[in-house]
Amino acid sequence: MRPKGKNKDRRFITMKKTLALILTAALGMTALCACTDEPAETQVPDRQAEEQTQAAADFDPTITDDLQNLFDTGMESLVGVNYTPVLFMGVPADDPLGNTFLCTATVVAPDATPYWALVTMEDVGSEVTVTDIKTIDYAASSYAATVTFAADNGEQLLGGWTTVTDLAIPDAVANVGGHTFYEVLATQVVSGMNYSCLCLENGQWEIVTVYVNTSGEAEVLNTAALNI
C-alpha cells in the first residue's frame, strides 16, 4: 500500500493542473470574444493626397485673360526689358501669394536677342509687384538633378547653348520618353543636336535634355526638376 499522504498530494497537484487548464481556456475565450467584438479596421484613403494628385493632373498652364491682366499690371513699372508671358508656371512653393510665368524677354535695344525668363509677381489686394526674375543655366541643367539658374539675364549662355524662342518641337523630340513637351528653350550643336525642353509631368515642371543624332534618333540625356 502507498502512503495516504502521497496520494493526497498527487490528487492536489492534479486538481491544480486541471484548474490551470480551465482558467487558461476561459482567458482564451474572453480574448477571442474581445477581438471579435471590435469592428474590423478599415483603410481610409488619403483624401488630401488624392486631391493633390488630381489638381496636378488638371493643371492648365494656359495664359487666361485674368492672368494676362495680372501680368500686365505687374509690368507697368518695369522698364528696359519687354516681357511676354507664354505659359503660367503656377504658384511658387515658398510664396503662396506669387504667380510665376514663363516669358520671352527682349532688352529694349537694337538687334537684341530674345531669351527665356521666369517672372514671379505677387498679387496683394489691388497691388501687383514683381518679386523675382530668373533665367535658366542650360549647360548645368543638362546634367544636374535640379535646374540651375543663371547669374546673368540669360543672354550669355555657357557650353555652346543657344536660346531659341520660336522653334517648334521636332518630331524626334516629341516622340521620345513619353514626355509632354511645351517648349524648346535652347539648343546645342554637337554630333547631332541637343535640345533643352520644358516639360510638365504630374504637376512638376522639368527641363529635359534630349539628344538627336544625325540619323534623327532621339534619346533623353537628363531630366532636371524645375522648382519655381
- For residue range 31-80, what is the model confidence (pLDDT) as tens digits? 444 444 444 555 555 655 454 454 556 789 999 999 999 999 999 988 99
Does position 112 have pLDDT exceeding 70, yes or no?
yes
From the list 133, 129, 134, 112, the residue with the least C-alpha distance to 76 is 129
Assessment of whether the complete model's pTM goes beyond 0.85: no
User: What pLDDT is stored for residue 88 in this prediction?
Assistant: 97
Mean pLDDT, rounded, for 4-8 = 46
Distance CA 210, CA 181 (A): 11
Backbone angles phi, psi at 82, to 5 degrees: -95, 125
3-state secondary structure the chain: CCCHHHHHHHHHHHHHHHHHHHHHHHHHHHHHHHHHHCCCCCCCCCHHHHHHHHHHHHCCCCCCHHHHHHHHHHCCCCCCEEEEEEEEEECCCCCCCEEEEEEEEEECCCCCCCEEEEEEEEEECCEEEEEEEECECHHHHCCCCECCECCCCCCCCCCCEEECCCCCCCHHHHCCCCCCEEEEEEEEEECEEEEEEEEEECCEEEEEEEEECCCCCEEEEEEEECCC
**What percent of the chain has a predicted confidence (pLDDT) above 70?**
72
For 116-159, the pLDDT digits (tens) are: 999 999 988 778 999 999 999 999 899 999 998 887 655 555 57
**What percent of the chain has a predicted confidence (pLDDT) above 90?**
56
Q: Which residues pair with 195 in a beta bridge?
A: 187, 210
Distance CA 134, CA 139 (A): 15
26 vs 95 pLDDT, higher one: 95
Give the CB-side neighbour count of residue 26, counting CA atoms within 13 A: 6
